[in-house]
Every structure is written in structure tokens, then in C-alpha cells.
Amino acid sequence: MSTERFAREAGKYAAIAWLGARRALSERAAVAGRALFLAVILFIFGRVWATVLGPGGRVGAAGRDELIFYLAVTEWCLLSVPPLYLSIEGDVRSGDVASQMVRPVSYVGAQLADALGETALRMCVLGPTAALVAWWIAGGWPADPRGLWLALPLGLLASTLAVLSTAAIGVSAFWIVDTSPIYWIWQKLAFVLGGLMLPLELYPDWLRAAARFSPFPAMLWGPGRMAFGFAPGAALETLAELVVWGTLAALLLVWLARRARTRIALAGG
Amino acid sequence: MSSAIALHNVRKTFRVPEREPGLRGSLRGLIRKRAREIVAVDDLSFAIAPGERVAFLGPNGAGKSTTLKILSGILQPSAGQVRVLGLEPGRERRRLAYRIGVVFGQRSQLWSHLPAADTFDLLARIYELEPAEYRQRRDELVASFAIADVVEKPVRQLSLGERMRCELVASLLHRPEILFLDEPTIGLDVVAKATIRDLLRERGRRDGCTILLTSHDTGDMAGVCERVLVIHHGRLLLDRSLDGLRKGFIARKRISVVTEEAELTLDLPGVRRLPSASHRSDFELDLGVVGVDRVVAAIVAGARVLDLSVEDPPMEEVVSAIYASALSAGPRP
Amino acid sequence: MAAPIRGTLHFLRGLALMNLRSSLALRGAFWLQAGFMVLNNLAFFATWWLLFERFPQIGGWRIGDLLTLFGVVATGFGGSMVLAGGWRELARGIRDGELDSCLVQPKPVLLHLVGSRTVASGWGDLATGLGMLLVSGALEPAKLPATGVAVLASASVFTANGILVQSLAFWIDGMDALARQISEFTLTFSLYPRPLFSGGISFLLYTVLPAGFVGFVPAELVRAPSLALGAAALGAALFWIGLALFVFQRGLARYASGNRIGVRV
């Protein structure tokens, strides 16, 4: 593919992503709901950590403040991801997929671009919200706030990985009618193995070791633990993991999309 | 009680909040609530005797559904008197509910994942029917509405026509004295519509129940009812029997002729030629000017006739004419 | 007066039967929904379990206490979803005019609406809840009466609060999303140990979002049964039911006047 052609293709998807972001902006109620939920969860866990640790208590390198910011980062990553699997499933069920596949844009690519645009917007809204609410509840910034800057790019990559995963789940609707159960399982695995609320340091060794075989720690715990302090080494480790898992997810998605297209050509949708 | 349904000077207005566009409008709306008053029904009066089958006809927004909701107790009138089976629907809704049946064309009371038979059983409990009596009535209705083979299938697997027949059976299980139907044939194909109309007419005759049906499909009117109430802008335009409507309103006939000759010329006063194909001619007669016999005689004399039919103009035309005359009478005061 | 009550009970039994049949009619989906709800709840509890592994005591609570709390709330919630699942769609039904079919029938409108739907995943919540109650010892014969009252009270407050908030759709447009959020928050708060919250928030949790009466008070009733707690739990339940009925009836009167946004003539 020539550079010019590539630029044009990329331009199409960028435009779709931009539209996705603008659409999310107009659906204020949904984003506001997530922001409120984020604030509530941070508040509740602020209380949990305060009670569990007592004043000045620590878990390894993390005190109450750091743990609150940890949760802020993990929730920021997860809550920014829209339910892409639902819209793909809906298109497959209603048969809209067929009409969309006629256009000179890859259906899955378009859906992905749209979701990424929406995710980007949500991250812009939920990020500052999470930071401010965490700051208010913790009564200040974490001990070494430089880590939070590292959390930013990691969080963006982590959300991208999550979006790729939900896209793959959605595409499985071509074979399985109801993809919601798959999504729920994936989400719960992310909660537990990814250390959404409890950093992996708190896990029993066997569970922590098992979790490292899944993409979830890279997705949530990786960016989250940046709240514990400035650790460029750990950040690079997470970055590498995210790139590897992200590539795998992308390959899986491409493979599934191709199989789906064959299925439509044969079965007629 | 001589009338099954009686309305006197019933009026129904709605207050719909007006929202100004833009941010300033929204802010202003917070301080001062501006509302527009819509008159849905205006000074409506009529009476329906027990056993009558009446059609309530009118275009969208005429006030038909509102009137139906007032009669069944869903809405309270803003002014006027309403009596249904001697009860005031707004105040004695529950008591009235045992004696009426309502079918909403666009909404179903059947549970979609279950067979209609299960909903029938539930309705038996709702209307507190005696088990033996209920079973007998149910079997009779299932046979007469020909749903025996679909009544055990989940409702969502049924066609629209089958679903509507089940819906009607459901509404008749408790032997209502009045059956209200709101757009019962909407979305149905021609055959299904005809079936439903026949069944309703038969039922009305057999059970002696009063039927009040709203529609903007004139076929419903012609197929089921003997009397027509035409409503427009919330007012009663016309209250006449079906025959009276046809005869009194348009004195016209249509004649269609198929001839061996490619063309047929007819030059008679009161006869208008309608666009047609070769070998076929359609004429419209004004019965005030010329009689059917003269026109037919002239046609037969002037060509070799292969086929000839004399018909009333379609109902749509009759009704359009009614609306047109109402409009020409000028805007409402 | 006995006859109408008997008639209504007969009707409610009919509704329950229809709901059961409806769930069974979608057998595959039923097991999927219920099964995944069990997994969902277990995953949620897993986080707490991990926390309790590290810190055996949180605000005076042990894992057994949390198990009781979860058990009570999940059982109540599950029962509500199974028997009265229609409450979640109330706001939407009001907006879309689904009340009309119920209004022309001779049975209480609210009961009809609420009882006309069942949520299959509720069986999963019931299973998880009962399992947890079993493990925490709340289903022992000695504790059974208290547990029964607790579950009933919890379910009642939660459902009634849900009905109340959904009924606001009679006055406010676009209520269905907001109502669902409020119920979600109430449930979230009810699943956390009471000692975590104090002061102003605590007050809020006994009034606006009655999480205290959905979770804490019923759970306490099982942990340390007393007549006072039982009275408090039942009293709260009756209060919320009464309030919900009142708001709904007022809303219905408003509906009958037809003055709504987007009313169709």
C-alpha cells in the first residue's frame, strides 16, 4: 500500500473516531452517570482503606492516599470503555451489518474507530474527574505524584486493549447470539485478575502468579501501580506487556473479522 | 339504563409545556412555565344503545383515541358528563372494568414468550371467572375465531393476523357488554383485515355486545359497523347510519365497462369520464342529473359490451367529502 | 372484604405462575442469565475475600458478617427481580403508555405492572444469596425467623424505593435512566459494612438512598436478633411501601388528567 493510500485510509478512520468522540460528548447523561459512579466508588473505598489501614497504615509502598489514587487510575481505564460489544451484537442481530459491509470501510475497523473516539473523550472527562475526586478524598496528592504522569500513556494503551477485547467479544456475535455472558465473564476476570480494587501486591502468591498469565494485570494493575511512586522500570515493563497483549488482541480481532466475513458470504447473515 | 354509552358536552384539554429553543429558552423555562393548551375533544355529545356497532372515524389527531380513553376510564374529561353502562368511568373504573373489553391495535396484552392459552388462564383470574364457565366460553371462542392450532404456540411466533385473533378472544373471555377497539386492523394485510371484520360483526350479533371501534381505515367502518360517528378536530362532524352516509352524502355511482371496441364515446349530461385503458371505460354518474338506467342503455346501444359493473364510490371518497365540507364550513370559533 | 383480597391473591398467584412459565420457556437463556449472575456475585465477593485474607478485621466486621450482609441483600434482591421484576421497567412503561392495558382491567394497576415481568438473572442472585446465608449459618432453625424477616424487609425497602423513584416518571421526563442509576447506587452502598460510613453520609443512607435499611439493619437483625431491630426493619419496610404507593397513586391521578409531555391525542 502506497503512503498516499495509507494516509487516505487512515484519514477515514480518524474521521469516524472524531465523530465517535463528538457523539459521546452529546450523550452527556451517560458520561455524567459514569463520572458520578466513579466518585461514589472512590468515596466508598476511601472509607474502606481508612478503616482497614487506620491512620498512617501502609501496605508495602502504599498508604491510604496511594491506594485511592490506584483505584482512581484503574477505574478511569475501565469506565472509559464503552459497551462496544453491545452495538456490534445489535448490528449482527438486526442484520445492519450486511448493509454496512458494502461501504468502502471495514465494518470492524469503523466500529473500532468509533469506540476509540468515544473512549478518548470519556478519558478526557473521567481523567480529571478521577484525579480531582481522589485528591479531595485523599486530602492531597500521593507521596510521589510523578508516577501519575506515567499512568497517562499506560492508561491510554490499557483502554485501547480493553476496546480491542470488547470488539472481539462483539464479533463473536456472528456465531453466538448473546454475547453478554462472555462480556460479563471477561469483566469479572478483569476485576479479579487485573486487581481493579486491590493491587496485586495484596493477593496470595499463587493467585498473583496465575494472574500474570492473563492480559488483565497489564490492563489495570500496570497503570494503577504508578500511583505508588515514580517507577520507570515498572512502567516500561507494563508498556511492553500492553504492546504484546494489544498486538495479540488485534491479531485475534482481524482473524475473527475475516472469519465473520466469510460466514456472511456463505450464510447471508 | 337506555344507553350503553352516553356523553354530554364532554371536553378534554391537555396542557403541553412549551419549550423555547436554545439555552436562553431553557433558562426562561425554568422560571416561567409556559404551557400550550391543546383541545383534544370539544363539546362532544352522543349516545350509543346496547348492541349497536359504531365506528368512530377521523384522521390522526382528531380525538378518537382520547375519546376512547375517556370512555374506558383511562383519562378524566376536563368538562362534561360521561356514563358508560350507567357508571362514571373516571370514578368507577374498577367496577366498569369487569364489564368492558378493550383492544389496543398497537399494544398487546398477551405475554409474548408464552402461548396465548396461558394469558387466557391469567385473564380468567383477573376477571374472576368460574372455571367451568370460563373453559366453555374459551373453547367456544377458540373455535369460532379459528385459533385452535395457534393457541398453544408462543405468541411471538404468530403472524400479526393470528395474534390479533388471539387478542380478540382474550378480550371477549369475560363476556363484556361493551367492546372498545382502538385501531384493531392496523398493520394487517387485506385478507387478515377482512377476517377480523367478519369475526367482529358475527360476535357482535351473537353476544349482543356493543362495539365501539376507532379507526382511520374506512374498511373497518364498512365491514363491522352500522353507524358512523365522524370526528374531526375534537368535534363531532357527523352521526349517521352507514347507508344514510353513503346515500345522503354522495349521490354518485361508478360504471365500469369492458367493450370489444377499443374506444367508447358517451356524451350525456351528468356523466364524467374517468381515465381508463383501451377497451375499458370508467364513468362517474351524478345521480341528481341522470339515472343509471339511461346511462347503461346508452352504453349498450353504442358498443358491444363484454363486461359491465355498477358500483358505489369507494368509502374513502365519501369520508374525504365529509372532511372537505367541514373545512369549507370555515374554521372553528 | 375477604372476597376482594382472595381475588387479588388469586391474581398474584396467577402472575407468579406466568413469570415462572415465562422463565422456563426460555430455558437456555435462563440458565445462562442465572448462571452468570452467580459468577458475577462470586467475583464481587472474591475481592472482599482477598481483602479479608490480608486484614482479618475491617471496622469490627469479619468475613462472616460480610457473608451475612451479602446473603441477605442478594436473596432479597433476587426475590424482588423474580417476583416483581416489572418495577425496573416502570418509568419506561409510564413513558410509553403501557399503563393503559392495566388500567382497563379490574385489578390493582401497580401490582399488575410490577408482577408482569420477571428477570431471569434474579434466580442467580437468589442462589448466591441463599448459598451465602447457608455458609454463614443464617439458615439454622434458630436463626431462620430473623433471617426471614430480614430478607423480606430488605427486599421490600429496595423494591419500594425503586418503585418510588421510577414513579417520578409521571412528572419528570427521561426518568428511566436516572431511576436505574439511583437504584444501582442504593444497592452498591448497601453492600458495604456500615462502620465505614459516619455522619452526614450515614444519614443519607437511611433516607434518600435507603441502603442502611436494605443492607445494614436487616443484616444486623440476623447477626444479633432483637425485637427492636426487627421492629425497625419492618417499620422501615412498611414506611417505604406506603410512600411508594402514595407517590404512585398521585402519579396515576396525574396520568388520568393527561397533562404530560409528549401526550398523544
Task: Look at chain A and report how many structural domains it folds into.
Answer: 1
CB contact under 8 A, C59 and A40: no
pLDDT of residue C265: 31
Mapped onto helix, strand or coil, the DSSP state of residue A229 is: coil
Distance CA C85, CA A196 (A): 30
Strand B235-241 with B252-259, pairing: unpaired
Does C216 touch chain A if contact means CB atoms closer than 8 Å?
A: no
Does B94 touch chain C if contact means CB atoms closer than 8 Å?
A: yes
Distance CA B236, CA B220 (A): 19
Distance CA C132, CA C100 (A): 41
User: Chain C contacts of B114, Cβ < 8 Å?
Assistant: 18, 21-22, 25
Helix (H), strand (E) at residue A133: helix A107-138
What is the per-residue pLDDT across B171-218, written as a single tens digit (0 to 9) for each? 999 999 999 999 898 888 888 899 999 999 999 889 899 999 998 787
**DSSP symbols for B162-227:** HHHHHHHHHHHTT--SEEEEESTTTT--HHHHHHHHHHHHHHHHHH--EEEEEES-HHHHHHH-SE
CA-only gyration radius of chain C, Å: 19
pLDDT of residue C181: 85
The DSSP letter of residue C224 is S
**Percent of the residues in chain A that have a pLDDT greater than 70, as a whole number:** 97
If contacts are CB pairs under 8 Å, which of residues 128-147 in chain B contact chain C? 128
Residues 6+ apart with CB under 8 A from A215: A161, A165, A241, A245, A248, A249
pLDDT averaged over consecutive 10-residue blocks of chain C (265 residues)? 82 93 84 84 86 81 90 94 92 88 92 91 92 91 92 96 94 83 88 78 81 91 91 94 96 82 39
pLDDT of residue B29: 55
Mapped onto helix, strand or coil, the DSSP state of residue C58 is: strand
Does B93 touch chain C if contact means CB atoms closer than 8 Å?
A: yes
If contacts are CB pairs under 8 Å, which of residues 10-29 in chain B contact chain C? 12, 14-17
- Rounded mean pLDDT, B144-150: 93
pTM listed for this prediction: 0.81
pLDDT of residue B32: 63
The DSSP letter of residue B87 is B
User: Chain C contacts of B98, Cβ < 8 Å?
Assistant: 106
Distance from CA of A203 to the nearest CA of C (A): 7
* Backbone region of residue C178 per phi and psi (left: phi > 0; alpha: psi in -120 to 50; beta: other values): alpha
A117: exposed, middle or buried (Cβ count in 10 Å: 0-12, 13-18, 19+): buried
**Percent of the residues in chain B that have a pLDDT greater than 90, as a whole number:** 39
Chain B residue with minimum CA distance to C102: B109
pLDDT of residue C207: 81
Amino acid symbol at B236: L
Distance CA C132, CA C127 (A): 9
- Phi, psi (rounded to 5 degrees) for B294: -65, -40
Amino acid symbol at C141: P
* Residues facing residue C160 across a β-bridge: none
pLDDT of residue A93: 78
User: Chain A contacts of C55, Cβ < 8 Å?
Assistant: 52
Give the lowest-confidence range in A260-269, B23-32, B175-184, B319-328: B23-32
Grid cell digits, residue B8? 354530554
CB contact under 8 A, C181 and A33: yes
Distance CA C155, CA C171 (A): 26
Distance CA C200, CA C197 (A): 9
pLDDT of residue B287: 80
What is the per-residue pLDDT across B205-231, written as a single tens digit (0 to 9) for each? 898 999 999 987 878 888 899 999 988
Reply yes or no on whether the pLDDT at A226 is more than 50: yes
Distance CA B312, CA B319 (A): 13
Residues 6+ apart with CB under 8 A from B113: B154, B155, B156, C22, C25, C26
Contact assessment for residue A171 and residue A257, using Cβ atoms and an 8 Å cutoff? yes
pLDDT of residue A73: 94
Distance CA C201, CA C185 (A): 13
Reply yes or no on whether the pLDDT at B327 is more than 80: no
Distance from CA of B69 to the nearest CA of C (A): 8
What is the per-residue pLDDT across B112-126, written as a single tens digit (0 to 9) for each? 889 999 999 999 999
**Burial B7-20, CB ≥16 within 10 A → b, else e:** beebebbbebeeee
**Percent of the residues in chain A that have a pLDDT greater than 90, as a whole number:** 35
Distance CA A252, CA A250 (A): 5
pLDDT of residue A269: 46
Distance CA B298, CA B264 (A): 11
**Structural domain for A43, as ranges:** 3-267
pLDDT of residue B28: 60
Distance CA C162, CA C156 (A): 10
B57: exposed, middle or buried (Cβ count in 10 Å: 0-12, 13-18, 19+): buried
Q: Which domains does chain B have, with CATH numbers?
A: 5-247 (3.40.50.300), 251-312 (3.30.70)
Distance CA B46, CA B56 (A): 11
What is the per-residue pLDDT across B251-295, written as a single tens digit (0 to 9) for each? 778 888 998 888 888 888 888 888 888 888 888 888 878 888 888
Beta strands in chain A (DSSP E): 58-59, 62-63
pLDDT of residue B30: 57
Mean pLDDT of chain A: 87
Q: How many CB atoms lie within 10 A of CB A152?
A: 15
Residues 6+ apart with CB under 8 A from A212: none
C142: exposed, middle or buried (Cβ count in 10 Å: 0-12, 13-18, 19+): exposed
pLDDT tier at B329, thresholds 50, 70, 90: low
Does A207 touch chain C if contact means CB atoms closer than 8 Å?
A: yes
Distance CA C257, CA C263 (A): 11
pLDDT of residue C206: 83
Distance CA C45, CA C128 (A): 10
3-state DSSP helix/strand/coil percent for chain A, to nearest 5? 80, 0, 20
Grid cell digits, residue B26? 431553557
Does A192 touch chain C if contact means CB atoms closer than 8 Å?
A: yes
User: Taking the CA of residue B283 as centre, how many other CA atoms within 13 Å lie in the half-sphere pointing to its CB?
Assistant: 25
Nearest-by-Cβ selection for C51 from A40, A188, A198:
A198
User: Chain C contacts of B113, Cβ < 8 Å?
Assistant: 22, 25-26
